[in-house]
A and B are shown apart, each in its own frame.
Chain A
Amino acid sequence: MAKTKIPGARAVIESLYNEGVEVIFGYPGGTVLPLYDELYDADIRHILVRHEQAAAHAADGYARATGKVGVCLATSGPGATNLVTGIATAYMDSVPVVAITGQVPSTLIGNDAFQEANITGITLPVTKHNYLIQDANDIPRVFKEAFYIAGTGRPGPVLIDIPKDIQTDLIEFEYPEEVALRGYKPKAAGNEQQVKRAASLIMDSDRPIFYVGGGIIISEASKELLSLAETLKAPVTTTLMGMGAFPSSHPLSVGMPGMHGTKYANFAIQESDLIIAVGVRFDDRVTGKISAFAPNAKIIHIDIDPAEIGKNVRVDLPIVGDAKNVLKSLLNHVKDGKTRTGEWNKKIGVWKKETPLTYRKDELLRPQYVVEQLNAVCPDAIIATEVGQNQMWAAQFFDFKTPRTFISSGGLGTMGYGFPAGMGAKVGKPDSTVIVVAGDGSFQMNSQELSTVVQNDIPVIVAILNNGFLGMVRQWQELFFDRRYSETCMQNCVDFVKLAEAYGALGLRAAKKGEVRHVIEEAVKSGRPTVIDFVVEREENVSPMVPAGAAINEILELE
């Protein structure tokens, strides 16, 4: 019996069912009308954002919080181009997102038709892969491949562009069981010989340090990392992307490395004789001056992406594979060995005591204090951040215990990311408290999403560390441009409490230390989307700081 035929748009919905998609962040328009018509009675939650950029960030935040593939949807032309910043953000941080865009009818492609943009061309360098569907029969295969590519190996965004006529063409729907991609075969297990060699390098080392990042979180290797670090009694430094991969209050944790890392993490790297790098990419914000980075150390680099190995630093022992797999087999090889890290840990202990992460504790309301109080009231919250000083303070002063609780744009550093990403995280993890640590500048890049969180009842708490400045840029101007604050002042431009109220959200304010705790508790108790305006010290700096291009032990201590 011939199968009944269904339109392409329906095939898209069926494909999404097959992939277990529960929620889409999107915004309609002309070339996705058939898709939205199918969504009207589909069993998939659609969250109507107020700007497509937010749809992409929300899908990204959803993915980071849950580990599932996030999905966003936009119309052709401006809808699609509005997604681009979000797609690029996800690409830089290896986040699995599938972005679906409408396209003008196939017969008009290339004619500069109304709302035509070559979105596959535009997103070529910022997607893991992308598709322009030219035959409705390809829909099931393309969706199967797209979700597979986005979610496996080193994850990343995949875009699917679907011309309007393809959405109405009729096809016989059958979802493929497997993908057949000749050019894509991610490698999970590490080479056993290399793992053995790594084990003996580790056992021979006196001053090893784990340098771990987002790869641990993506491959869910935290447990293995913890056993390994404890077995070896080796310190662990966690990058911005790796926050939560290793408990930050663990005695072996030395915090974040690099530009705004702890002094003791940077000292430890510089004095180490063996760096065990896992799921990290030796970003310039971590390494500082590359020629002076870890001068005494051999480097073991474990990563699923062969292109990361040897890209920025010379590596003595590469292992290509999934972090969880490799750490597991590494654990088998070192289990019974004797370590000799006693002296090393003592030394690090002294550094920790002498150069703690701190700030001036006086009567003034300083932003670091706000983060500490958020930690005190909501120790298990998911923290999404904006970009700038707020982001660094969140990383420095919140105590991250578990993976997928720190959601931040690391690679691209996208202002306007945090709020919509936090919204996506809350949708994926409705039972968690989600707090967006925001800057007054960044929040204004996507504050329109207040409308979305109110309409869809997504109770995130936005904690604005309001310094009336584009603070991080101001800090650089203070330090390197003679305090000439060119175009970085935004004081008293908006009343955030009124703004929240205008959207129907709860607006709160704290301008004194004594008020902080209370407003946080009130926000949590309300169960409503809330904006808290924390009026903080205006010229507080993020400290310590390694100036760009300096070696990571050339550290400035800032007031």
Chain B
Amino acid sequence: MKHTLAILVENKPGVLTRVAGLFSRRAFNIESLAVGVTEKPDTSRMTIVVSGDEHVFEQVMKQLNKLIDVIKVSEIPGSDAVNRELALIKVGVDSSTRAEVMQIVTVFRAKIVDVGIKSLVIEITGDEDKINAMEQLLRHFGIKEMVRTGKIAINRGAKTVKVGK
């Protein structure tokens, strides 16, 4: 099963290696990983999507908690959370396909952020499904390059993942 983890860590060099090492050693594949600073400058937040055996997953959660630089580990539930990814997609176009691509962009409420003679760069944010759907459609026109950020996620409502006292 897939799990989305929000991990609060010390904003220091080397922390990412420590966290990633725990997953790789137990043959866990990290499907995506996004890191950035939080509302507190000394704290970073990692959002990691992993899949693997349930029992092993529990072990990894406990091992993560043991890392000195890890302050808090929470699982973000699939429902009741806002999940977002950002992708930049470079699509090959010519005069006959340009309009159609632009139409898709409008339908998905994506943005065109660069226009070339033979290509467009499209920026899209959304959950994984939305981005996959867009990618599927654009494949017909020829995707020349794509980059995705990896998922970030936040609980809906008042619930927060925060450093305790």
Interface residues of A (CB under 8 A from B): 120-121, 124-125, 128-129, 132, 149, 181-184, 305-307, 310-311
Q: Are A307 and B68 in contact, CB atoms less than 8 angstroms apart?
A: no
Contacts of B58 in A (CB 8 A): 310
Per-residue interface assignment for chain B, residues 99 to 120, with 1 indicating a CB less than 8 Å from any chain A CB and 0 otherwise: 0000000000000000000000
The answer to whether the Cβ of B123 comes within 8 Å of any Cβ in the partner chain is no
Query: Are B68 and A183 closer than 8 Å at their CB atoms?
Result: yes
In the complex, chain B residues whose CB is within 8 Å of the CB of A125: 21, 25
> In the complex the two chains form, what is the Cα distance from A182 to B68 in whole Å?
8
Decide if A306 touches B71 in the complex (CB within 8 Å): no
Partner-A contacts on B (CB < 8 A): 9-10, 14, 17-18, 21, 25, 58-59, 62-63, 65-71, 163
Quick check: A124 and B21 within 8 Å, CB to CB? Answer: yes
Q: In the assembled complex, how far is the CB of residue B35 from the closest CB belonging to chain A, in whole angstroms?
A: 16
CA distance A124 to B62 in the complex (A): 17
Q: Which residues of B contact A307 (CB under 8 A)?
A: 59, 62-63, 65-66
B17 touches A121 (CB 8 A): yes
A306 touches B62 (CB 8 A): yes
Closest to B66 in A: A307
Known: A125-B21, A307-B62. 13 other contacts (CB 8 A): A120-B14, A124-B17, A125-B25, A129-B67, A129-B68, A132-B14, A182-B10, A182-B71, A183-B9, A183-B67, A183-B69, A306-B62, A311-B59
- From known contacts A120-B14, A124-B17, A182-B163, infer whether A305 and B59 are also in contact, taking CB-CB under 8 Å: no
B68 touches A149 (CB 8 A): yes
Residues of A within 8 A of B10 (CB): 182-183
Q: Which 4 A-B pairs have the closest CB atoms?
A: A307-B62, A129-B68, A183-B71, A182-B71
Residue of B nearest to A308 (CB): B62
| A310 neighbours in B (Cβ, 8 Å) | 58
User: Which residue of chain A has the shortest Cβ distance to B18 in the bound complex?
Assistant: A124
A-B contact pairs, 15 of them (CB 8 A): A120-B14, A124-B21, A128-B68, A149-B68, A181-B68, A182-B163, A183-B10, A183-B68, A183-B71, A306-B65, A307-B63, A307-B65, A307-B66, A310-B58, A311-B59
Report the Cα distance A121→B20, complex, angstroms.
13
Q: How far is the CB of B122 from chain A (nearest CB, A)?
A: 38
Chain A CB count within 10 A is highest, among B17, B67, B68, B71, for: B68
User: How many Å from the CB of A127 to the closest CB on chain B?
Assistant: 10
| Number of A-B contacts defined by CB within 8 Å | 34
**A181 CA to B25 CA in the complex, in Å?**
26
- Closest CB in chain B relative to A151 CB, distance in Å: 14
A182 and chain B: residue at smallest CB distance: B71
Distance in Å: Cβ of B69 to nearest Cβ of chain A: 6
B65: chain A residues at CB < 8 Å are: 306-307
| Most central of B14, B66, B67 by chain A CB within 10 Å | B66
CA distance A128 to B68 in the complex (A): 8
A residues less than 8 Å from B71 (CB atoms): 182-183
B57 CB, nearest partner CB in chain A, Å: 12
A310 to B62, CA, bound (A): 11
- Chain A residues with CB under 8 Å of B68's CB are 128-129, 149, 181, 183-184
Instruction: Write the nearest CB–CB distance from A146 to chain B, whole angstroms.
Output: 10
- Chain A contacts for B18, CB-based, 8 A: 124
Distance in Å: Cβ of B26 to nearest Cβ of chain A: 11
Question: Please, how many angstroms separate the alpha-carbon atoms of A311 and B21 in the complex?
Answer: 19
CB-CB nearest in chain A for B70: A183
Across the two chains, which residue of chain A brings its CB closest to B61? A307
Q: How far is the CA of A306 from the CA of B163 in the complex (A)?
A: 20
Give chain A residues whose Cβ lies under 8 Å from the Cβ of B63: 307
Least CB distance from A459 to B in Å reads 39
Question: Please, how many angstroms separate the alpha-carbon atoms of A440 and B70 in the complex?
Answer: 45
Contacts of A181 in B (CB 8 A): 68
Interface centre among B9, B14, B21 (most CB of A within 10 A): B14
Instruction: Tell me if B66 and A305 are in contact (CB < 8 A).
Output: yes
CB distance from A141 to the nearest CB of B (A): 13
Give the nearest-CB partner of B63 in chain A: A307
Q: Which residues of B contact A121 (CB under 8 A)?
A: 17
Measured between beta carbons, the chain B residues less than 8 angstroms from A124 are 17-18, 21
Residues in B with CB closer than 8 Å to A120 are 14
A315, chain B: closest CB distance, angstroms: 12
Q: Collect the chain B residues with CB atoms within 8 Å of residue A182's CB.
A: 10, 71, 163
Which residues of chain B have C-beta atoms less than 8 A from A129's C-beta?
Answer: 67-68
Task: State the CA gap A311–B66 with chains docked (Å).
Answer: 14
Give complex CA distance A181, B70 in Å: 10
A38 to chain B, nearest CB (A): 27
CB distance from B91 to the nearest CB of A (A): 39
| B64 to A: closest C-beta gap in Å | 9
Residue of A nearest to B69 (CB): A183
State the CA gap A318–B66 with chains docked (Å): 18
A472 to B150 alpha-carbon distance, docked (Å): 51
Question: What is the minimal beta-carbon distance from A237 to any residue of chain B, in angstroms?
Answer: 26
B14 partner residues in chain A, CB cutoff 8 A: 120, 132
Contact partners of B25 in chain A: CB under 8 A: 125
Q: Which residues of B have CB within 8 Å of A306? A: 62, 65
B29 to chain A, nearest CB (A): 19
Residues of A near B66 (CB, < 8 A) are: 305, 307
Question: Considering only CB atoms, which chain B residue lies closest to A310 in the complex?
Answer: B58
Provide the bound-state CA to CA distance between A310 and B59, in Å: 9
CB distance from A118 to the nearest CB of B (A): 11
Question: What are the residues of chain A within 8 A of B163 when measuring CB–CB?
Answer: 182
Given the complex of chains A and B, what is the CA–CA distance between A128 and B67 in angstroms?
8
Question: How far is it, in angstroms, between the C-alpha of A169 and the C-alpha of B69 when the chains are bound?
Answer: 26
A129 to B71, CA, bound (A): 14
